[in-house]
Structure 1
């Protein structure tokens, strides 16, 4: 049974379907969800205090619980929540790992929680990454014994990795395993690579509480945020129990809740294919999703679907509402057909009734927001080219410098060229010396950061000149949230929002293009998009904003699902090649970049494959056969 004291108010009520085997609640945002989880923890602490009992918490690290810890800290400082009766046990730690390393979970927990609350230092337990190999086995046994001595964990907070690991219990972990040393899965190390500035710097081992240790907790809450976790969450919640997906062992726990946001829930059957669960409300989005899915299942194009196809695949009630397969097919075909346009800025002197963009004004002012200094050409290089060729006033706004993605080796090369040209240049000497004497890979001297930013800036200008945009239409914002000098960035602030709003107000665009790909492994896309959305909210009362349309593109990680696409811009083979050449101007990001994510392909290859795949999907649905398509979804503010 699920704990009775949950006050969660999810975006969608939990439905006990034949597919789902773990209780879960879905929130519209991870912030809202995190606050609710923090309040459950606070209520538990206070109830234990009222009984003069110790509250034993199992705590997790990683990005997922950060907002939970922020809310707990807030409640301590503003509402007097005391942690004096709390004993904590952390799930895991890299091995070997020094406590004072910025990558240690000891550092993480003190940075985000322990330094800001009144928990007694002796009550904090975090696996040590400095235990000798000879002592490690007994150390792990003692860790479990200490948990048992306190009566076990009252509450265990978890995240989930893309391998389905909880803690560092990787695939193959036994359901009865205790705290132990473990070798990290390659995917786990890939996911950690951005914060370590490359996979080669990620430890290969860790110490982790075992599955058996975790399952003894009286209450378990697992957090899951974002599209990257959607697939593994579906497998965990709906799949069979398997050591290959260790989180599935939680299906056997009597008091577990998965707390996930909307993006993380999208692969669950009740959202992905709700018609297979039971009666559903057939709005336009669900109809579009269902028909595209039916085409994939049957291997047919839209216009070849029959009444029998609908009836045989759980869609008989749609057929009853829609009249016939013929009527449904024609409507869907026309809807997709009308998304295709070679005129992303609108076709002059044309009937725009069924076109994705307006015909007027004929020449539009356009802002292309690019979170990093290459997202513009990687994600919408063909559309970018079309807008310029068709005479629109195109402005490119780079939101961050992208400096952390330039390697020291690349920066050193440029500094040495500077020195060769100007031997007495003190700045080049300073940069060379700073790079050569760095004791950590994770923080740059200001001169090095500036050089790395200039490298990205000049690459961007080379690319935009190649596309045909004058330099005065290229804008570099260098948003403050990004300029920390380290991999860890700040949350979006008022200064970031004001800078973005001022640029929009200056240009007064008819079109804005922005990156809506929230699968970005280091989160910059989301922060940049949040800044744009907040700026639009501040500006929406201005008259010129009534004529401004916002189109979201996706980056180098995901593409919009076919039913979500509202504008699809075709590219000829020549345009595909031109886009590739524009991407090549970003030389510092070629050949094994620092933030590759889990996909080892170069960005230009990813982009071409993604655009080609979208075109193939359109063609398989019975539409025209293009070499490539770039896809966009309109955002209404």
Structure 2
């Protein structure tokens, strides 16, 4: 921890907060601290009482605890557990039930006694819930209270299912779920309409009685609510802020989730910090946007009043710093994302040579390419580069049943083949027999895969790509038929390496939208990163630039953009039309579920917003801009 980190905790942060490089490292630390407590209690013959959470956040903690049990003999025979919450109503065998979650990730793999496991019952009759909740509280008290409580945090600031408005002294009870919470769960339930409207949850007061609390959060999507929870005022509208009153709470974050904390976002407001080109650029662009002054109009006084006096002292006066940063930002802008031939490229983000280039674009789902960088994709093809697109997953689970039935109906009416003529009726019967959350049949998944491939090919044709440059990888980790995915395997990595070695690209574009550590984009990037590491000594790799784009859910900070590709109004419209080729994804986006607008609307807004920020900094005014950051290979 450097001086800035220490001061940030002391001045701004109201809860003990530790930042790790990634979720894996953080999860191991939490798991080992819990394991240490269990071992110590086991040695003196005492029980350890754990409050457990579900969702993607604690998965790696549970994985490490399982490993410690299998490989290092950690015994759970004296462990008693109480889960935070459960949907209501829900059957324990359903895919989305927390009973099933806990069994799959933890209980089925350790030596815990069944009678020591307590998870709220989602099958109760409504009139029995109040009594049950009261007894749940009594059971916790009878075993001496919770020694450790593990928490994640929702984007509403909820802990457990204590939604905004929950009071500090609440206990275990039946609650109505916030619409944002239900929207976030929509992917797991195959549609928001299938998400239960209620849940049984421990109360804020129940949680605060735990002797020690770990609140964990991973990814950019949690950064804003973490900042409010750790640095903001205590409020029932953000229930996690009540943890500020707890004397033994630890907030455990990865770098992405910590990105909005003052010590990370604006460390110069905290105290002395180390200045380099990237940090100076970040600070100056922040100052320019904060006080609504173009970079070239900032003064020494502006710097001094906003914690940046040492910048003008060491690198100033302000005019010199302004010119320096203005030039850096200006040099990110290029209309030639593949490099401009026969031009001086010393101040351009991409090399002039070789030209044309071989370009490989990785798209996690079959539409991320045109949604996130469609304008740049078309510019690359227009300039004559050899552009390839590798669709990493089939994206089949985001096709609704009704959409698949529409295609099956067409096939049944058009075909003379008996099996194909019966396809629609057979699929319709399987859909009617399926309960929410059941996985699709193999035939249905195949149809949904083909739908997405056909749409991707249509978008590629519209964008100028030849058929032979389209690669459908269908990575195995994704093919579970449900929201929960498998771990990356050697087969997944091999598919990525094979297409890289086939194309031998001068440029690689990949999704850098990493908001969910267990989401498809992050897993897809992990596969690419591993493949890059495995191939880094290949001769062609030494001449390959890797550019990261963001998906629709997060933006690059303006200071992180290394290449900004301006689009004209006509190009933005053409990009929109390419997105329209993905007809099964129109009308409402599928992930993460909280955004009601269509993908093209979000994509338009993001690129126009980026252009507006460049304008506000004093750069040329463009209609829209797609931004990229360069990933530097080790």
Partners of 2:160 and 2:426 in 1: CA distance? 40
Are the equivalent residues in 1 in contact too, given 2:219–2:517 (CA < 8 A)?
Answer: no
Tell me if 1:503 matches 2:496: no
Query: Which residue of 1 is the match for residue 435 of structure 2?
Result: 440
Partners of 1:19 and 1:432 in 2: CA distance? 62
Could you say what secondary structure the match of 2:180 adopts?
Answer: helix
How many residue pairs get matched?
629
Task: Name structure 1 gaps, 5 residues minimum.
Answer: 1-7
Partners of 2:515 and 2:70 in 1: CA distance? 34
Query: Which residue of 2 is the match for residue 271 of structure 1?
Result: 264
Tell me if 1:205 matches 2:201: no
Distance 1:522-1:614 versus aligned 2 partners, 3 A rule: same
Cα offset, 1:520, TM superposition: 6.1
**Higher RCO (CA-CA < 8 Å; seq separation 6+):** 2
Q: Select 2:631's aligned residue among 627, 632, 635.
A: 635
Structure 2 counterparts to residues 346-495 of structure 1, below 5 A: 346-427=339-420, 429-430=422-423, 432-438=425-431, 439-442=434-437, 443-495=439-491
Partners of 1:113 and 1:360 in 2: CA distance? 53
Partners of 1:82 and 1:522 in 2: CA distance? 28
Between stretches 12-21 and 484-493, larger displacement belongs to 12-21
Could you say what secondary structure the match of 1:311 adopts?
Answer: helix
Query: Which residue of 1 is the match for residue 134 of structure 2?
Result: 141
Query: Which residue of 1 is the match for residue 588 of structure 2?
Result: 592
Partners of 1:193 and 1:519 in 2: CA distance? 17
Per-residue CA distance 1:232-280 (angstroms, 9 max, x = gap) = 0000000111111111111111111011100000000011111111011
Query: Which residue of 1 is the match for residue 608 of structure 2?
Result: 612
Q: Select 2:15's aligned residue among 19, 22, 40.
A: 22
Query: Which residue of 2 is the match for residue 122 of structure 1?
Result: 115
Q: TM-score, normalised by structure 2?
A: 0.97
Structure 2 counterparts to residues 174-323 of structure 1, below 5 A: 174-323=167-316
Are the equivalent residues in 2 in contact too, given 1:197–1:595 (CA < 8 A)?
Answer: no
Per-residue CA distance 1:448-495 (angstroms, 9 max, x = gap) = 111111111111111111111110111111111111122211122111
Query: Which residue of 2 is the match for residue 541 of structure 1?
Result: 537
Partners of 2:56 and 2:443 in 1: CA distance? 30
Query: Which residue of 1 is the match for residue 42 of structure 2?
Result: 49
Per-residue CA distance 1:343-401 (angstroms, 9 max, x = gap) = 00000000100100000001100001111111111111110111001010111111111
Are the equivalent residues in 2 in contact too, given 1:64–1:225 (CA < 8 A)?
Answer: yes
Partners of 2:309 and 2:371 in 1: CA distance? 42
Q: TM-score, normalised by structure 1?
A: 0.97
Structure 2 counterparts to residues 31-110 of structure 1, below 5 A: 31-110=24-103
Partners of 2:407 and 2:516 in 1: CA distance? 28
Partners of 1:520 and 1:252 in 2: CA distance? 28
Between stretches 595-604 and 571-580, larger displacement belongs to 595-604
Partners of 1:376 and 1:455 in 2: CA distance? 17
Are the equivalent residues in 2 in contact too, given 1:49–1:85 (CA < 8 A)?
Answer: yes
Cα offset, 1:437, TM superposition: 2.4
Structure 2 counterparts to residues 546-557 of structure 1, below 5 A: 546-557=542-553
Cα offset, 1:445, TM superposition: 1.0
Cα offset, 1:15, TM superposition: 4.9
Query: Which residue of 2 is the match for residue 4 of structure 1?
Result: none
Per-residue CA distance 1:59-117 (angstroms, 9 max, x = gap) = 11111001111111111111111100011011111111111111111111111111111
Are the equivalent residues in 2 in contact too, given 1:14–1:23 (CA < 8 A)?
Answer: no
Could you say what secondary structure the match of 1:394 adopts?
Answer: strand
Are the equivalent residues in 1 in contact too, given 2:8–2:270 (CA < 8 A)?
Answer: no
Partners of 1:215 and 1:441 in 2: CA distance? 35
Are the equivalent residues in 2 in contact too, given 1:14–1:25 (CA < 8 A)?
Answer: no
Are the equivalent residues in 2 in contact too, given 1:64–1:224 (CA < 8 A)?
Answer: yes
Are the equivalent residues in 2 in contact too, given 1:12–1:25 (CA < 8 A)?
Answer: no
Are the equivalent residues in 2 in contact too, given 1:520–1:557 (CA < 8 A)?
Answer: no
Partners of 1:381 and 1:418 in 2: CA distance? 31
Distance 1:296-1:273 versus aligned 2 partners, 3 A rule: same
Structure 2 counterparts to residues 551-590 of structure 1, below 5 A: 551-590=547-586
Cα offset, 1:432, TM superposition: 3.9
Could you say what secondary structure the match of 1:263 adopts?
Answer: coil
Are the equivalent residues in 2 in contact too, given 1:435–1:448 (CA < 8 A)?
Answer: no
Partners of 1:509 and 1:239 in 2: CA distance? 47
Per-residue CA distance 1:34-54 (angstroms, 9 max, x = gap) = 011111111111111111111
